[in-house]
Amino acid sequence: MGLAADPNTVTWIISHPEMELMVAADALDKVVGFITLSHRPVLKTGGRAGTIDELNVAKAWQRRGVGRELLRRVVERAKVLSVKRLEVETYGPVTAELRAFFAACGFDAAEVGVFRLK
Into how many domains does the chain fold? 1
- pLDDT the model gives residue 81: 93
Q: Does 108 fall in a domain?
A: no
- pLDDT the model gives residue 92: 80
Q: Does 110 fall in a domain?
A: no
pTM for the full model?
0.84
How high does pLDDT run on average in the chain?
90
DSSP state of 6: -
Backbone angles phi, psi at 98, to 5 degrees: -65, -45
What CATH code is carried by the domain that includes residue 11?
Answer: 3.40.630.30
Q: Read off the pLDDT of each residue in 74-82 and give the average, rounded to a whole number.
A: 95
Residue 48 structural domain: 7-92
- pLDDT the model gives residue 114: 76
Q: Does 48 fall in a domain?
A: yes
Sequence-distant (6+) residues with CB within 8 A of 61 are 24, 26, 32, 33
